[in-house]
A = this chain, B = another copy of it.
Amino acid sequence: MPYRAPVNDFRFLMDHVVGFDQVAATDHFAETTPDMTQAILAEAAKMSEDIIAPLNRAGDLHPAHLENGIVRTSPGFADGYNAIAEGGWIGMSASQESGGLGLPMTLTTTVNEMLAGACLALQLSPLMTQGQIEALEHHASDMIKALYLPKLISGEWSGTMNLTEPQAGSDVGALRTKAEPNGDGTYAITGQKIYISWADNDFTQNVCHLVLARLPDGVPGTKGISLFMVPKLIPDADGNPGAQNDLRVVSLEHKMGLHGSPTAVMEYSGATGWLVGEEHGGMAAMFTMMNNARLGVATQGVGIAEAALQHALAYAQDRKQGKASCSGAIFEHADVRRMLTTMKADTYAARAITLMNAVAIDMARATGSAEWQARAAFLTPISKAFCTDVGCEVASVGIQVHGGMGFIEETGAAQYARDVRVATIYEGTNGIQAMDLVARKLMDGGEAAFRILEEIENGAEAAKATHPALAEAVWQAAESLRETTEWLVAQSDLSARFAGAVPYLRAFARVLGGHVHLASAIKGDAGRTRLATFYIKRMLPEHVGLLVHAREGATDLMAITADDLAA
């Protein structure tokens, strides 16, 4: 079953649901004409379908591996990477002064989703580079920008993020990697980092590591952390890759999925690094990088969901089975149709949320508006957590649609589920996303949240004439969500918010999903109304139970002891 890029849905959502016209109307993005948008979608779709998707299975069967300390990538991955780089896709949203195309993040989001649907393991490499580009654009010195950005944007060099250490995962502040001044403006970086995605490869000329480390005068915790550029090969006077730096890939992990993407333990033994941003200001730079990457990881969830849906739909239309009374393809069975429609309705909602998020990022960049900025910041944890959960759930339902064949690796359904599983974990676990949402992202007293809720309610009001039942359901859901949001904002004890953070985030996404489906029903054909009807009548009611859970507070929960949970 070949992957087909969902260009129609991208177009429809951009044109009718997520307000991409606002982005295109800004001076900043004046070059983004409808023709250009169309051409980008078509070209990225063609590359994803024809060049990248055929690599997916080989990545699973022939994992990246370490050969005498050098990472050898899966068959075809080098060609696939080169196609992505040569297409200009890696730095498409990077600024033009740095050598990028300065295109909206909304378009990058569509491209990232297509690449993820085609081959998640490979997509992760340019995604890491994109995060690095954005971090450097915002925080690096002119010298570093000039040296690194053009090479990263062209894809000649690739980028990684080095945050995690064995004792410092979600709690980055516990890191121990040291940075000591060499006296010449550079630093000696020493320490071990783990879970480094695409820490090395055999297809870029250099690998640029952004490494969080502590200066000698760095205080304990996150406030004493600085960020350093630590290239694998130290650029020579002409900016070309020169001497090998004092760093190495110690080992690669044996993972549940995403075998085509090497995940390394890295050892830095006094490696030469350059400060990026302020001393002790590493967290700010890291957040820039992570926020970008979080939306990117959200596209991984959506991409896999789309691929798993297509795979299952093709199987269900092809597979003949059933009693005489309902012979034909299993697509004719009500429960199979329920599974497939659930897959589609959630994939569609998740995609719309990533695009709403990207539009907010673009508008913030184009206008400098704090309101757009707050909206983007609010939507980011929702995108990351909900879309990756959807990726896992849809891939699992895809296995189920296949019946016994779903458990057999040759079918391909299982690979989607194994590959996407990590997306709920990396770039901040989904629990961390939810805590970010209810704490930091509600620090404005809920202003950003209430603005979105108002938009949902206005949308429902406007739909009442043509789609009264659907509109009423979405309006009611938004009201319930508003009440819970008010309750959360009123909790000064953060643990009361944290106890309900995950169900709250999911409820918010569920209601946003109702909003975008309702908008689709209004603007789209009968098929989009059927899909919206399914989502709003059958899936949206999930928010009721979630919001009850979200408002329960922490007292009962924190009274649970380990003994209560033991065998």
The chain A residues found within 8 Å of chain B, CB to CB, are 4-9, 164, 167-171, 173-174, 194-195, 221, 253-258, 306, 309-310, 313, 317, 320-324, 331, 333-341, 343-344, 392, 396, 399-400, 403-404, 406-410, 414, 417-418, 421-422, 424-426, 429-431, 434-435, 495, 498-499, 501-503, 527-528, 530-531, 533-534, 537-539, 541-545, 548-549, 552, 554, 556-567
Contact = CB atoms under 8 A, between A and B. Distances in A.
A169 B406 CA distance: 12
A507 to B, nearest CB: 11
| Dominant secondary structure at the A interface | helix
Given A533-B556, A559-B530, A335 B435 contact: yes
A341 B557 contact: yes
For the complex of A and B, the 5 pairs showing the least CB-CB separation, nearest first, are: A541-B545, A256-B414, A6-B567, A334-B498, A527-B564
B431 A335 contact: yes
A431 to B, nearest CB: 4
Contacts of A341: 557, 560, 564-565
A565 B407 CA distance: 23
A107 B534 CA distance: 44
B544 A538 contact: no
A539 to B, nearest CB: 8
Contact of A425 (B169, B403, B545): B403
Contacts of A343: 565
Nearest to A543: B545
Given A167-B320, A337-B558, A556-B533, A400 B565 contact: no
Nearest to A310: B567
A409 B253 CA distance: 8
Nearest to A550: B538
A338 B256 contact: no
Contact of A557 (B338, B417, B557): B338
B431 A339 contact: yes
B538 A549 contact: yes
Given A341-B560, A425-B406, A545-B543, A334 B400 contact: no
A421 B435 contact: no
Contacts of A414: 256, 421
Contacts of A539: 549
A527 B563 contact: yes
Contacts of A400: 424-425, 429-431
Contacts of A408: 253-256
